[in-house]
């Protein structure tokens, strides 16, 4: 369920288990803001101050949005490199690098940095997901010169002290190992690995204990030197700020020099094979976790808003197709959700649920049937109107602060969109018809390509899964080292 902004990512990934570790909330909030899009309850468009674009001599792109309503400012710096650039055998490097920036600079220790931000009533947030790394802070406008100077001290002068590196790695490993006791996390991570294979999206953004053990101080310094360059970054400033600030940034950042940074080269995705089932055997689980999915879409996609509408109809709320069929009618689970997690490359479309062991086969079969019916029969005008109403009403709370607006606009820019996306979102949403949604469903939903992962006890599950497709059985112990 695309649960627009709240559920998702956490997939996150949750997604996903995509990102885990310190900075989780920031890593998830930004992508979810991007995925949501925009809606308002009373107006057909959103009005935001006209952004001003600048580029410093060192190549740093700056987006300035003046809003003098309140004496407050927010800033965010995006480095256009994330965990997809982690070297093989060193997953988690981007995440660890981002985590270490505020753990000591040339002038201040980690505790001193935290105290300095706190003295301005704020903090420094950091995160890294598959596509990019993002850093932010905010403060009263009267403190803007001091907070900007501190912000870039953290970003441009990290020391990567050996003791802090070891502490960060130790904390990350401990958190990952704790997550092994969370069946939903393990299933989601294993499914990403199963779906994507050698593609960067198949790796763990937070790393694995084995890979984190291989990361040395020099690896972090090399990664930072290679990617944390002004020509590989963008800065957004929102709030009570004046354009004169740009000249001061030229001076402040004069020593931050550009350097070529290689773009991620994504491999060709593996061909989908019908009827693939992976049974990950673990005998001590109270319930079985189930994941189904196939490759989804890139974020820059003209059909994306319509895809969101379709996904809301499929699994958002008790009246959605999946909840109605799997929970309400059959009582097979407490919850089932789906999501198109769009990214720079093709993100996953996946369905997540769990159930008691003896009902796994039925849950998988009925879920596959529900998706097939969704594609074959399509949706109604009533369902589309309700989904659009939900999306239209969900947005206002998501751009209440300068921080939210800064992150949203920076994300849109990263994925090749701009502020006009916000201003036209409602009109485009309102124009979506049932015919449009049904066309998108047939184009992007492929039930015959759904891969199935089941995490539970083999003895109770194998015979239930044989009618679904060719079942591969693996022990969870042999797979945990890879997540």
Tell whether 263 is covered by a domain.
no
Assess whether 174 and 47 both reside in one domain. Answer: yes
Question: CA-CA distance, 385 to 389, in Å (whole number)?
Answer: 6
- pLDDT for residue 10: 30
Q: From the DSSP assignment, how many helices (H) and strands (E) are in the chain?
A: 18, 12
Tell whether 385 is covered by a domain.
yes
pTM greater than 0.85: yes
pLDDT, tens digit, 9 for 90 and up, residues 203-229: 999 999 999 999 999 999 999 999 999
Tell whether 71 is covered by a domain.
yes
Number of domains making up the chain: 2
- pLDDT for residue 64: 93
Assess whether 321 and 229 both reside in one domain. Answer: no
Which tokens in the block code for residue 352? 């997540």
Q: Is-contact 24 102, C-beta < 8 A?
A: no
Assess whether 318 and 246 both reside in one domain. Answer: no
Output the CA torsion sign for 313, 277, 202, 187. positive
Packing angle, helices 245-252 and 144-156, rounded to 10: 30
Assess whether 243 and 333 both reside in one domain. Answer: no
Tens of pLDDT along the chain (483 residues)? Answer: 333 333 333 333 333 332 233 333 333 333 334 334 333 344 455 667 778 999 999 999 999 989 898 999 999 999 999 999 999 999 999 999 999 999 999 999 999 999 999 999 999 999 999 999 999 999 999 999 999 999 999 999 999 999 999 999 999 999 999 999 999 999 999 999 999 999 999 999 999 999 999 999 999 999 999 999 999 999 999 999 888 889 999 999 999 999 998 889 999 998 888 889 999 999 999 999 999 999 999 999 999 999 999 999 999 988 899 999 999 999 999 999 999 999 999 999 999 999 999 999 999 999 999 999 999 999 999 999 999 999 988 876 666 667 777 888 889 999 999 878 888 888 999 999 999 999 999 999 999 999 999 999 999 999 999 999 999 999 998 888 777
The residue from 189, 218, 252 where one domain ends is: 252
Residue 375 is part of which domain span? 276-395+421-480
Q: Is-contact 187 293, C-beta < 8 A?
A: no
The SS3 of residue 295 is: strand
Assess whether 241 and 292 both reside in one domain. Answer: no
The residue from 237, 252, 267 where one domain ends is: 252
Residues listed for the chain? 483
Tell whether 261 is covered by a domain.
no
- pLDDT for residue 407: 82
Assess whether 214 and 176 both reside in one domain. Answer: yes
Question: CA-CA distance, 371 to 447, in Å (whole number)?
Answer: 6
In this structure, what CATH number is given to the domain that contains residue 301? 3.30.830.10
- Per DSSP bridges, beta strands 276-281 and 451-456 are parallel
Assess whether 164 and 292 both reside in one domain. Answer: no
Tell whether 470 is covered by a domain.
yes
- pLDDT for residue 398: 62
Question: CA-CA distance, 476 to 281, in Å (whole number)?
Answer: 6
Tell whether 404 is covered by a domain.
no
**Residue 148 phi, psi dihedral angles, 5° rounding:** -65, -40
Assess whether 209 and 347 both reside in one domain. Answer: no
Name residues whose C-beta falls within 8 Å of residue 455's C-beta, 6 or more positions apart in sequence.
183, 186, 187, 190, 280, 282, 285, 288, 289, 290, 291, 476
Question: CA-CA distance, 144 to 147, in Å (whole number)?
Answer: 5
Tell whether 185 is covered by a domain.
yes
Question: CA-CA distance, 476 to 456, in Å (whole number)?
Answer: 9
Assess whether 123 and 184 both reside in one domain. Answer: yes
**Residue 175 phi, psi dihedral angles, 5° rounding:** -65, -40
Which tokens in the block code for residue 156? 């441009």
Instruction: Please give the full DSSP string across 383-407, using - where no structure is assigned.
Output: HHHHHHHHHHHHSGGGGSSHHHHHH
Tell whether 8 is covered by a domain.
no
- pLDDT for residue 399: 66
Assess whether 370 and 461 both reside in one domain. Answer: yes
Q: Is-contact 483 210, C-beta < 8 A?
A: no
Assess whether 350 and 232 both reside in one domain. Answer: no
Assess whether 229 and 331 both reside in one domain. Answer: no
């Amino acid at each position: 369920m695309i649960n627009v902004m709240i559920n998702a990512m956490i997939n996150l990934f949750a997604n996903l288990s995509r990102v885990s570790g310190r900075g989780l909330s920031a890593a998830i909030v930004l992508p979810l803001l991007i995925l949501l899009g925009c809606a308002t309850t009373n107006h057909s468009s959103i009005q935001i101050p006209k952004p001003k674009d600048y580029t410093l001599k060192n190549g740093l792109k700056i987006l300035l949005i003046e809003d003098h309503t309140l004496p407050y400012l927010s800033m965010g710096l995006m480095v256009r490199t994330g965990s997809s650039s982690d070297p093989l055998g060193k997953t988690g490097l981007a995440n660890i690098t981002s985590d270490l920036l505020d753990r000591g600079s040339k002038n201040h220790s980690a505790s001193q940095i935290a105290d300095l931000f706190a003295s301005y009533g704020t903090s420094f947030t950091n995160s890294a997901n598959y596509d990019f790394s993002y850093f932010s802070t905010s403060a009263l406008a009267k403190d803007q010169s001091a907070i900007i100077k501190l912000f870039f001290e953290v970003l441009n002068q990290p020391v990567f002290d050996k003791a802090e590196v070891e502490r960060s790695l130790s904390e990350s490993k401990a958190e990952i190992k704790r997550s092994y006791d969370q069946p939903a996390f393990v299933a989601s991570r294993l499914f990403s690995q199963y779906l994507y294979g050698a593609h960067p999206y198949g790796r763990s953004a937070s790393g694995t204990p084995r890979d984190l053990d291989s990361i040395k101080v020099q690896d972090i310094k090399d990664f930072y030197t290679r990617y944390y360059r002004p020509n590989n970054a963008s800065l957004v400033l929102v709030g009570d700020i004046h354009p004169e600030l740009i000249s001061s940034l030229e001076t402040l950042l004069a020593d931050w020099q550009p350097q070529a940074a290689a773009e991620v080269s994504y491999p060709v995705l593996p061909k989908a094979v019908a009827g693939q089932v992976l049974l990950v055997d673990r005998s001590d689980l109270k319930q079985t976790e189930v994941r189904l999915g196939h490759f989804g879409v890139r974020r820059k996609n003209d059909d994306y808003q319509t895809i969101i509408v379709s996904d809301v109809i499929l699994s958002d709320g008790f009246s959605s197709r999946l909840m109605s069929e799997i929970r309400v009618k059959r009582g097979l689970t407490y919850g089932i959700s789906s999501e198109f997690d769009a990214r720079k490359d093709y993100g996953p479309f996946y369905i997540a649920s769990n159930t008691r062991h003896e009902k796994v086969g039925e849950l998988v079969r009925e879920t596959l049937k529900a998706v097939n019916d969704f594609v074959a029969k399509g949706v109604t005008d009533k369902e589309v109107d309700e989904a659009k109403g939900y999306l239209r009403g969900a947005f206002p709370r998501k751009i209440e602060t300068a921080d939210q607006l800064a992150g949203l606009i920076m994300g849109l820019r990263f994925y090749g969109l701009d502020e006009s996306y916000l201003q036209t979102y409602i009109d485009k949403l309102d124009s979506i018809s049932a015919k449009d949604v049904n066309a998108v469903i047939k184009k992007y939903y492929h039930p015959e390509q759904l891969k199935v992962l089941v995490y539970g006890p083999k003895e109770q599950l194998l015979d239930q899964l044989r009618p679904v497709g060719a079942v591969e059985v693996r022990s969870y112990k042999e797979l945990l080292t890879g997540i």
